[in-house]
Amino acid sequence: MIRLLTAGESHGKALSVIIEGFPSNIPLSKEFIDNQLRRRQMGYGRGGRMKIETDQAEILSGVRFVKTLGSPIALNIINSDWENWTTPMSHTKVKEKVEKITVPRPGHADLRGISKYNFNDIRNSIERSSARETAARVAGSTIAKRFLEEFGISVGSYVESIGNIYPKNNFTEKLLENNIRKDFSAQKLADQADQSEVRVLDKEQEKKIIRKIQTAKKRGDTLGGNIVVVASGIPVGLGSYMHFDRKLDAAIGFEFMSINAIKGVEIGSGFTSADLFGSKSHDEIILKENILSRKSNRAGGIEGGISTGLPIIVRAAMKPIATLMQPIQTIDLSTMKSIKARRERSDFVAVPACAVIGEAALAWVLAKFMLEKFGGDSLEETKENFKNYNNKLFTRIRKNFFN
Ligand code: EPS
């Protein structure tokens, strides 16, 4: 079992992570973690905070000579902005007058936070509910990403749409119809998306999206979008139908729905398949180079809660950022009068960053299911189990059915 725990407030001193349960001897460098943190900060349309921060992880424990020890890994990411918040975020009482926030933003956790935790200042809710936490989550999940790489599994992502602007040729359809090269790698896909300021795969679409973000900015408004996260090199057989909480797709659903601002998740052709005939919705079984395969991948790489060996395709919808510079109506809790919601520095669009966070989420689930299936206290042991299983998989099917 692997575990990940994050701590830290958005404008506190630092974000911290503890990751536990990974085998020893996984190569892991600070550069690898920092690169994922850098990718999470990218994207046209982000707010002022990203100009202040250059997120970097300090490795406090669990790694020696660039390899994991099998012990808990502790990471620390300093918030550079903390210097501007020492008084409002002080651990001790302060003499200075600190602004008390009384105007909740619709769509954020402000109102529910103060009522649930009995606070008299919305700042107390803002700090932990902020998507800043995802920096810690991404940093922690790099271990999962690095672990998967050792098995030839890569996880990548791209932005499918922002503000309802889709590409002319939708790459997601190509993935679902299995019209991709045999050596398809999710890593290469991510590298391609990283070349775009909004992490899309189409140049025309990129231009249109940037124009739409500029319009949103001018209007003091925000935008959301759809992200696609893909994993390639997946072995057959991760997850199980034997019990509902062992299903791989169920675990993916949970992990994605826990990302800030995600309001919908689908695996494979998901919502579209609900509108189709069964004959147009399922993936025919074929023999490809003497190996059992599928004509299409509308199931998104999972059938019966178990990985099919084809790429895992997850699509998720991110709602627009809740903080608006031209705010909508709310109630000032100190007067109980209707008022425009509070303006607070924020992003106009964070969909590109969300796709990178989605990679972290999918990598985490896959690492968890890989370790559940193949076990091992050291990377070498896990690899031996993996190899042994893969080598015998098709021989077993042939032996059981085909004489
Ligand atoms: C974020 C840091 C935040 C926001 C954003 C995500 O910085 P600040 O609040 O200091 O400007 O940019 O958070 C939200 C959009 C949100 O609604 O919580 C980050 O590091 O990703």
Interval 72-96: pLDDT, tens? 999 999 999 999 999 999 999 999 9
Q: Is this model's pTM higher than 0.95 or not?
A: yes
Better-predicted residue by pLDDT, 298 or 393: 298
Q: If you average pLDDT over residues 154-176, what whole number do you get?
A: 97
Rounded Cα distance between 365 and 68, Å, is: 19
Atom 14 in ligand 1: residue holding the nearest Cα = 131
Rounded Cα distance between 244 and 247, Å, is: 6
What is the chain's mean pLDDT, rounded?
A: 96
50-69: pLDDT as tens digits:
999 999 999 999 999 999 99
Bridge partners of residue 14, in order along the sequence = 78
Rounded Cα distance between 9 and 13, Å, is: 8
Atom 1 in ligand 1: residue holding the nearest Cα = 132
Q: If you average pLDDT over residues 127-142, what whole number do you get?
A: 98
Contact in structure between 196 and 207 (CB atoms under 8 Å)? no
Rounded Cα distance between 365 and 251, Å, is: 7
Max distance between CA atoms of the chain, in angstroms, equals 84
Rounded Cα distance between 6 and 203, Å, is: 37
Q: If you average pLDDT over residues 281-291, what whole number do you get?
A: 91
Q: Is the pLDDT of residue 403 over 80?
A: no
Place of tokens 């090199």: 233
Nearest-atom index, ligand 1, CA of 41: 21
Confidence band, pLDDT 50/70/90 cuts, at residue 227: very high
Confidence band, pLDDT 50/70/90 cuts, at residue 41: very high
> Chain-centre distance of CA 231, in angstroms?
12
Atom 17 in ligand 1: residue holding the nearest Cα = 130
CATH of segment(s) 3-91+98-392:
3.60.150.10
Q: Is the pLDDT of residue 397 over 90?
A: no
Rounded Cα distance between 148 and 357, Å, is: 16
Ligand 1 contact, 327 CB (< 6 A): no
Measured CA to CA in angstroms, residue 22 lies from 15, 71, 288, 370, 371 at distances of 21, 8, 35, 11, 8
Q: Under DSSP, is residue 261 helix (H, G, I), strand (E, B) or coil? A: coil
> Chain-centre distance of CA 117, in angstroms?
27
Q: Is the pLDDT of residue 160 over 80?
A: yes
Cα(245) to ligand 1 centroid in Å equals 33
Rounded Cα distance between 99 and 285, Å, is: 63
Identity (one letter) of the amino acid at 248? L
Ligand 1 contact, 208 CB (< 6 A): no
